[in-house]
Amino acid sequence: MQRSNLLGLLAGTALVVLLAGCGAAEHTAAEPEPSTPESAVQTVEKEPVQEINGIPLRENKDLYSVYDDSGIVTMYLTVSSGNEAEGTNHTWAEINHYSVYDYEKMGVERYQVNGLLQVGDENGPVVGEVGYNEIVPNATVQIRGQTSSTNDQKNYKIELKKGKGTWRGQRTIALNKHMGEGLRFRNKMAYDLIEGIPQMTGLRTQFVHLYVRDLTTGSGAAFEDYGLYTQVEQLNKTALKTHGLDRNGQLYKVNSFEFQRYEDDLKLTTDPDYDEKKFEQHLETKGSSDHTKLLEMLQVLNDDSIPMEEILGRYFNAENIAYWMAFQLLTGNVDTQNRNCYLYSPLNSETWYILDWDNDGMLRHTEDSLYNYSEADSWEWGVSNYWGNTLFRRCLQTESFRARLDAAIEELHSYMNAERIDSMVTHYRTITEQFVWQMPDIANERLTPAQYDTVANSLSTEIEENYRHYYDSYYYPMPFYIGVPAVQDNKLHLVWDAAYDFDAESLVYTVEVAADYTFQNVLFRQENLMLPEAEMDLLPAGQYFMRVRVTNESGYTQDAFDYYVTDAGKIYGVKCFYVMADGSIAEDIYVEG
């Protein structure tokens, strides 16, 4: 606009203002202000206020773009003995000698040592990273994990001390060796996949090359190569906040929990009979210790008179369960029916969500078959794997949930296509195979190079197999539990729970009792039983095995949940029991570890 035109516009504006002022002076005090015509009111469209219960779980996926986690980070850990008050007055040899089960027998907390953590590259610590130029300990170190604590190569928990900084916003750094997993990248792969699934909350991961210098027995030691680890973000209050969740909410690590009430073990902390050890056999408290909301949810969930549709709309989010379950089913991560996940609820919400955790057991069919172990023909493959869990069973019995699960299966199956999986595998191998074929990792690598290649190339195929088996598993009756035989009226009474069939077909049972778990020496057998019970003659003192199978009208047969464990693996559908010298019956119970 030219200057002369601008001056003219300003002059015109001033004249309008003056005229408006003259008009205003003519109004009397008694005259009302002119009202705004109704048609001139502008309305805005507003989203309805959402209830906190049942809202979809979402996290900020941009969180994963802050750091490049596609490569490998080098960490240098110098360990030294500390002081008795902090429980760090131990040696590195002691840290690596004892398992979790040893500590339980000794009745003591896990030993710790002081640690100086420095992060860098293969040339050494790097400026700007945690621990650079430091010479005194900035952390404590102990082993982590449960069953894995018995392995020769340990997992470590490094806890940075207050005021000593953080690494990627974390004070707790969990380093996992995955010694029992031949590829050494499955957990990393799982969380990288979850990063691309909006309906799931994941954790940040990073491949780590660890060096350790042990000063607990002297000084002057050089750094020793500890090989490849996978760092997984520790799921705690800090992680909840980082991922946009409520750090003040309830958070439990699921250890052995099938969403039953467990009245003898799960109690409020204010209950005189509260026993923390009993409680945490099932759920390990990681957030608020007020268990009121948890117990209320379990009471409702275990009341079969309350429709599951009502429970899903208030106490659980169907989308969350469907996508979590679909991911586990497609990846064949079978060890998730009662553990290896977290249970989370925001502080002011009644709704509970399942968070993913520990995925090194996924896509294992090909690798396990090399060791003559496979769950492919058992109830652990498909929806039947989750039938023993009250929450998952009630969800699967609900038609609307099954439709939602089908949709999640289809979406994730399309997302986890062969091209994506094969490309990820190719990238991971450029990192992991630098380490698995050299010391120290090669000494504990469970695959040969040829086997490694076979297993790695099979992962996308396994997803396809799991996809097909998901739909097939609905044709089978669901598994059930075998009861402990009892002596009644001078007979041995055999009982088991009734099975369930999705198509409501008629079911018949076959029961056998044998002197060996291979059932070569069968002592009793009955077929085509309509009721879940049978009677046989009393047995002399000794060890026996009971097997029950159910068959529907379509001819599909399912084993019982029970299994007998040998060095070769699980013998599915079998309960072991003993007839004692006094004629009483004792159940054989497998205790892991």
DSSP helix/strand/coil, 409: helix
Quote the Cα angle for 338-387-477, to 5°: 155
**Claim to verify: residue 189 and residue 328 sit in the same structural domain:** no
**Claim to verify: residue 511 and residue 432 sit in the same structural domain:** no
User: Tokens 């997993």 sit at which residue?
Assistant: 181
Cα separation, 507 vs 525, whole angstroms:
17
Q: What is the pLDDT of residue 375?
A: 63
Indicate whether 117 belongs to any domain: yes
Instruction: Tell me which of 475, 508, 534 is where a domain ends.
Output: 475
Instruction: Tell me which of 420, 453, 475 is where a domain ends.
Output: 475
Cα separation, 408 vs 412, whole angstroms:
6
Cα separation, 41 vs 35, whole angstroms:
11
Q: What is the pLDDT of residue 38?
A: 57
> How far is C-alpha 472 from the geometric centre of its chain's CA atoms?
25
Give the type of residue at 222.
A
Indicate whether 274 belongs to any domain: yes
130-140 burial code (b ≥16 CB/10 A, e <16): bbeeeeebbbb
**Claim to verify: residue 377 and residue 504 sit in the same structural domain:** no
> What is the total count of domains within the chain?
3
Indicate whether 31 belongs to any domain: no
In the DSSP assignment, the letter for residue 64 is G
Cα separation, 109 vs 90, whole angstroms:
12
DSSP 5-51: HHHHHHHHHHHHHHHHHHHHHT--TTSPPPPPPGGGPPP---PPPPP
**Claim to verify: residue 313 and residue 428 sit in the same structural domain:** yes
**Claim to verify: residue 133 and residue 183 sit in the same structural domain:** yes
DSSP 195-209: TT-TT-----EEEEE
Give the type of residue at 514.
A
In 3D space, the residue among 322, 325, 337, 335 whose CA is nearest the CA of residue 260 turns out to be 337
> Tell me, what CATH number does 582's domain have?
2.60.40
**Claim to verify: residue 245 and residue 234 sit in the same structural domain:** no
Indicate whether 166 belongs to any domain: yes
Cα separation, 340 vs 256, whole angstroms:
9
Indicate whether 37 belongs to any domain: no
- Rounded to whole angstroms, the maximal C-alpha distance in the chain is 118
Q: What is the pLDDT of residue 53?
A: 85
**Claim to verify: residue 403 and residue 393 sit in the same structural domain:** yes
**Claim to verify: residue 454 and residue 321 sit in the same structural domain:** yes
Domain that holds residue 427: 240-475
Indicate whether 80 belongs to any domain: yes
**Claim to verify: residue 332 and residue 379 sit in the same structural domain:** yes
Residue 102: both structure tokens together: 């040893």
Indicate whether 8 belongs to any domain: no
Quote the Cα angle for 559-502-416, to 5°: 85
Indicate whether 322 belongs to any domain: yes
Residues 6+ apart with CB under 8 A from 8: none
Helices in 520-582 by DSSP H: which ranges? none
**Claim to verify: residue 276 and residue 356 sit in the same structural domain:** yes
**Tens-digit pLDDT string for the chain (593 aa):** 333 343 333 334 433 333 334 344 444 445 555 555 555 678 888 877 778 887 888 988 888 989 999 999 999 999 999 999 989 999 999 999 999 999 989 999 999 999 999 999 999 999 999 999 999 999 999 999 888 899 999 999 999 999 999 999 999 999 999 999 999 999 999 999 999 999 999 999 999 999 999 999 887 789 999 999 999 999 999 999 999 999 999 999 999 999 999 999 999 999 999 999 999 999 999 999 999 999 999 999 999 999 999 999 899 999 999 999 999 999 999 999 999 999 999 999 999 999 999 999 999 999 998 987 766 578 999 999 999 999 999 999 999 999 999 999 999 999 999 999 999 999 999 999 999 999 999 999 999 999 999 999 999 999 999 999 999 999 999 999 999 999 999 999 999 999 999 999 999 999 999 999 999 999 999 999 999 999 999 999 999 999 999 999 999 999 999 999 988 788 999 999 999 999 999 998 875 64
**Claim to verify: residue 467 and residue 490 sit in the same structural domain:** no
Q: Are 178 and 205 in contact (CB under 8 A)?
A: no
Q: What is the pLDDT of residue 146?
A: 84
DSSP helix/strand/coil, 93: helix
Angle between helices 318-331 and 186-194 (to 10 degrees): 140
**Claim to verify: residue 86 and residue 222 sit in the same structural domain:** yes
Angle between helices 318-331 and 399-415 (to 10 degrees): 50
Q: Are 459 and 425 in contact (CB under 8 A)?
A: yes
Instruction: Tell me which of 219, 239, 259 is where a domain ends.
Output: 239
Q: What is the pLDDT of residue 444?
A: 95
In 3D space, the residue among 375, 372, 379, 342 whose CA is nearest the CA of residue 361 turns out to be 375
Q: What is the pLDDT of residue 490?
A: 92
In the DSSP assignment, the letter for residue 410 is H
Q: What is the 3-state secondary structure (H, E, C) of 285-309?
A: ECCCCCCHHHHHHHHHHCCCCCCHH
Beta-carbon count within 10 A of 271 CB: 10
